[in-house]
Each structure stands twice: as C-alpha cells, then as structure tokens.
Amino acid sequence: MKQMKRKLGILLFGIMLVFAFSIPVMAKNVAEKKEISATAQKVEHVIENQNTRLLNNNVPAGLANSIEDNIVEMGKYSSDTRYLTGVAPRENDVITQGEKLYIKFYARDTWKYYYTKPIVSVFNANSDIVYISEQNKVSLSGQDTYSGYISWNTATAKPGKYSVYIVNAPCYSDGTLLSDWASFDCPYINTEFKLAAKPVHKHTYGKWKTVKSATVFATGKKVCSCKSCGSKKTQTIPKLKPTIKLSATKKTIGRNKSYTLSITNLAKGDSIKSIKSSKTTIATIKKVKTNQYKIIGKKKGKSTITVVLKSGKKATCTITVK
C-alpha cells in the first residue's frame, strides 16, 4: 500500500508541477479548507439502496453481477465515516489480453475539511503503474456520493498479475490534490486480477480455390479461407509446361492427294506461331481452320512439316509423296 501511494504521489506531483502556473492561487488557507456545518458533520456516510444505485449507473453489459457481488466496506477513517465502494473486476478475475477492462468505482466524501477526488490506477506485479486516471469530478464534504467507470485497453499489456488500486484522495474544490495527499490515511481498495495471454487461434482451412489460372507464360494463384475467422492464405500455381500433339508424325500420300494434319493438346495460353514445309516442291500447306492444316502432295519425295508454338515448343511430321 505504502509503495503504491508513494509511486502515485511522485507521478501526480510531476503532473502538478507542469500545471502549477495555470492554477489560480487560493485566497487563504481557511478558504481552501471547507469547514462543513454541524448538520453536515452528522450526516452518516451510509449508502442506501447501494445495489440499486450501482446497477442503475450506466454499468457496461456484463458488469452488473460483478459490482453487486463485490461491494467492499472499508473501516473507519479520518472523518469517522464508513467508506463503501464497488469495483469491477472482481477479486482474482481473469481477463483475456486484448479485452477492455472496465473499472467500477464508487466515491464517497471522506474528509471534513477538504473535497475528495478518486484516483484509479492499475499496477503490474512489479508495482509499476501501467495505467492511471485522475477523476475530474470531486465529492462535496459530507454530502455527495457518485460513481462511474473507466476502461483500460489491455491489447498492449503483458500477461500476468495486476491490481486495480482506487484511492479517495483529499483535494481542493477545483480538483487540485493536496501536495501531501499521499501522507493522508486515504481510504482505498486494491483488487487483484490476472491478465491471460490471448489464445492462439488455430485455423481450419477449407478447400483451395483457383482465382487465377496458370498459363505457359504466367503463374496462377489459388486461395483458401479459414472456416471460423475468414483468414486467407494463397499459393502460386507454377507456369504450365508447353505441350503439343500431332495427328500423325509421318504420313504417305499420293501426288495431288492431301492429308489434314490436326494439332492438339496445347497448354493454356499457347498457340501456333508457324507451320512450314521443308520442301514446298514436294508438299505444300494450306490452313483449313484453327489448328488444322491440309498437306498436299506435289511430286515424289519427302518433306518435313515443322510446327512451332509461341512457347517455343516444336513438333514435326514427315510426309512421303509417292
């Protein structure tokens, strides 16, 4: 407790120095201290219908039970009153890394001669302050109670043990803390909780789907998605190997006779670049339609028909004319 108050005092004292010249000078010490009336002094700091008040105070969904079950009554303090507070999370709760931690506080004035200001902070296992919120609203001596909540995003916090520390510190009417507030016997509550590491998600992927087909000139791409979170992974489809098939690799025909040569089994994206006869006096070529050519015998002899694809793949057919 003393170590926490000391660290809070050092941190807030530094903040006070930065803004020292922006705070108006108080008139007199007597004016700074708020002497309450005899009637007000007799007001018991008891919270009636405490559960109803807490639950009706814009509590985030899921926190109602935590607050109702975790009302903590502190002992008697400086003003001979009792300090009641409700906090969330509950003692030893486990919060998952990445979730917002909602901290519920219930402030009741404590000091006879000063106003009260709640300071909410989060400490790690080494007693280092990882989050602090100094509430701007103050409670009037012997009269007011109020509650609220703040949230701390745990996304960047390391897993481990933490504690929520809420203290009702003495302050002036403008919310300025007393310079020696840490030496006061401030009512406080300290709730420990655990921040668990975010569980590693195991993907369950579906079937691969081709989104871009590969060709002899370009690679393709296929993807598959996780069935639960939608995460996608991709794979590259390698370029296709050039292929070709001729209806015949050698053929015998008579003079003035013909043979239709069919060219098939081309890989996607490939096409015929050229088709030539080695001896046009023996055999000539005439296109019939796409990938079909008529070979006509002219005179006796042999000629080689060479087909070249755009991919560079070649195939030949030997024509013998009798």
For residue 80, pLDDT over 60 is answered with no
**pLDDT digits 0-9 by tens, 254-307:** 999 999 999 999 999 999 999 999 999 999 999 999 999 999 999 999 999 999
Q: What is the distance between the alpha carbons of residues 52 and 65, in angstroms, rounded to a whole number?
A: 12
**pLDDT digits 0-9 by tens, 141-196:** 545 566 677 778 888 888 999 888 888 888 888 888 888 888 888 877 788 888 88
DSSP state of 23: S
What are the beta bridge partners of residue 51?
none
Percent of the chain with pLDDT over 70: 65
| Unique residue bearing structure tokens 């108050």 | 5
Q: What is the distance between the alpha carbons of residues 149 and 92, in angstroms, rounded to a whole number?
A: 19
Query: Nearest-5° angle of CA 6, CA 7, CA 13?
Result: 90
**pLDDT digits 0-9 by tens, 111-142:** 778 888 888 888 888 888 888 877 666 665 54
Q: Measured between alpha carbons, how far is residue 71 from residues 66, 89, 149 in Å?
A: 9, 11, 15
Are the beta carbons of 70 and 55 closer than 8 angstroms?
no
Nearest to 113 by CA among 55, 25, 35: 35
Q: What is the distance between the alpha carbons of residues 282 and 62, in angstroms, rounded to a whole number?
A: 93
Q: Measured between alpha carbons, how far is residue 315 from residues 14, 16, 216, 261, 308 in Å?
A: 86, 89, 17, 12, 7
* Token reading at 17: 């120095």
Q: For position 307, what pLDDT does the model report?
A: 97
Give the H or E element holding residue 102.
strand 100-108
For residue 79, pLDDT over 80 is answered with no
pTM summary value: 0.44
Domains 2-196 and 245-321 share a fold: yes
Domain regions of the chain by residue span: 2-196, 201-240, 245-321
Kindly tell me the number of DSSP H helices and DSSP E strands found in the chain. 5, 20
Is CATH 3.40.720.10 what the domain over 245-321 is classified as, yes or no?
no
Q: Measured between alpha carbons, how far is residue 233 from residues 210, 211, 216, 227, 242 in Å?
A: 12, 12, 24, 12, 28
* 2-196: CATH number: 2.60.40.2550
Q: What is the distance between the alpha carbons of residues 155 and 89, in angstroms, rounded to a whole number?
A: 17
